Amino acid sequence: LMTESSLEPVVLFIDEMEGPYNTFGEEGERKFLEVIKRVYNECSNVVIVSSCLSEIWDRIHGLADAPTQSRMEEAVRLRHFTKEDVEAFVTQSMKSYWDEQNLDPPPDPLFPLTGKEIEEAFKKSKGVPREAIRVLIGASDKILFGKKEAAVEPQSDYVLKLTPTVMVSAVVKAFQLTGKTKGYNVQTHVESGESESDVGAVVSIEKDGATHMIAIDVPTVKSWDRSAGVAAFYSAKRLKDAIGSGRAEVGLVVVPKKTKGAKFESVLSEMGSKLHVMPLTEQSAVAMFEATNTDATTPEEEALLASFIDRVFSAT
């Protein structure tokens, strides 16, 4: 009703379009994209604009179906600030401030800052807009209130949540990339997730007419630098059930490197060569995600997965 009755075009702006992917994985992002497609199809007089981190945009775009992709305009990638951009930002911000205060602006449009602070903000931020603004705020506080400039801790361009769906997606992608390098054909079979016994994914790996099914599961953990505890046991149990039901021949459980626990180790011992462990730390988990996001694998993970695949095929 709002869009149909509006005399002006309605702009729907969606910030951080990668949010559903970071939180709920590929399936969550697909459902979100379906909602956007429905809005596009059913609402007239609407322009949809979204922002997404460049590091993850190609993966998000790849999750959209063909009709959704056909409705998208070509992505525009925003460049970093130049020194002149930082100066223009300060000039415009201060002009707005003096206008709001109903005061005549001082002769220097940068006041209370100077060219020195502009130069420093540009160098420290390396052109990243939000970092430049952070430095400028610190410089203003120091000039106006005598506050010492707080050290600016480096921040990632995005917050990555290593949820099970995110990690399963990264591991499957690593399998596909490794398989391509080693001459194996890797296909994905994502389970519904509606049953507690469903694993994260099942991949089929084929070479020279022989095919093997591998089940993959990742527990829910708060930190990849601590033991997964009982969550690892339930992941291993789901893989055991998948193998027992014939949905897979071999299982791969991806867990924090420090994971321990009698129940978890008992399942590993029981399953023997049918259940393998891929240990990761927070650093290596992030490295895997970032590498697979650019269609690459880390040398360590490629070597581990290649060895794992070779063992699966040599066992038959």
Domain count along the chain: 3
- Domain check: are 115 and 211 in the same one? no
* pLDDT score at 137: 92
Structural domain that includes position 129: 83-145
- Domain check: are 129 and 175 in the same one? no
* pLDDT score at 25: 74
Report helix, strand or coil for 183: coil
- Domain check: are 291 and 187 in the same one? yes
- Domain check: are 171 and 217 in the same one? yes
Q: How many CB atoms lie within 10 A of CB 68?
A: 17
In a domain, 257, yes or no: yes
- Domain check: are 112 and 41 in the same one? no
In a domain, 248, yes or no: yes
In a domain, 154, yes or no: no
Whole-angstrom distance, CA of residue 183 vs CA of residue 119: 52
- Domain check: are 194 and 286 in the same one? yes
Q: Which CATH number characterizes residue 195's domain?
A: 3.40.1350
In a domain, 299, yes or no: yes
* pLDDT score at 232: 93
- Domain check: are 277 and 212 in the same one? yes
- Domain check: are 195 and 133 in the same one? no
* pLDDT score at 90: 95
Q: Which residues make Cβ contacts (< 8 Å) with residue 298, sequence separation at least 6?
A: 284, 287, 288, 291
* pLDDT score at 106: 92
Q: How many CB atoms lie within 10 A of CB 44?
A: 10
In a domain, 115, yes or no: yes
Is the pTM of the predicted complex or chain greater than 0.75?
no
- Domain check: are 37 and 90 in the same one? no
pLDDT tens for 105-156 read 899 999 999 999 999 999 998 898 888 999 999 999 888 887 665 555 555 5
pLDDT along the chain (316 residues), means of 10: 80 89 80 91 89 81 88 88 95 93 90 94 90 91 76 56 84 90 83 63 90 93 90 94 93 94 94 94 91 86 89 80
* pLDDT score at 159: 58
Domain boundary among 39, 71, 103: 71
Task: Show the CA angle centred on residue 254, arms to residues 248 and 256, nearest 5°.
Answer: 160
In a domain, 59, yes or no: yes
In a domain, 246, yes or no: yes
- Domain check: are 139 and 275 in the same one? no
* pLDDT score at 21: 80
- Domain check: are 224 and 87 in the same one? no
In a domain, 123, yes or no: yes
The sign of the torsion formed by the CA atoms of 72, 294, 173, 56 equals negative
Task: Show the CA angle centred on residue 312, arms to residues 59 and 281, nearest 5°.
Answer: 50
* pLDDT score at 156: 53
- Domain check: are 259 and 297 in the same one? yes
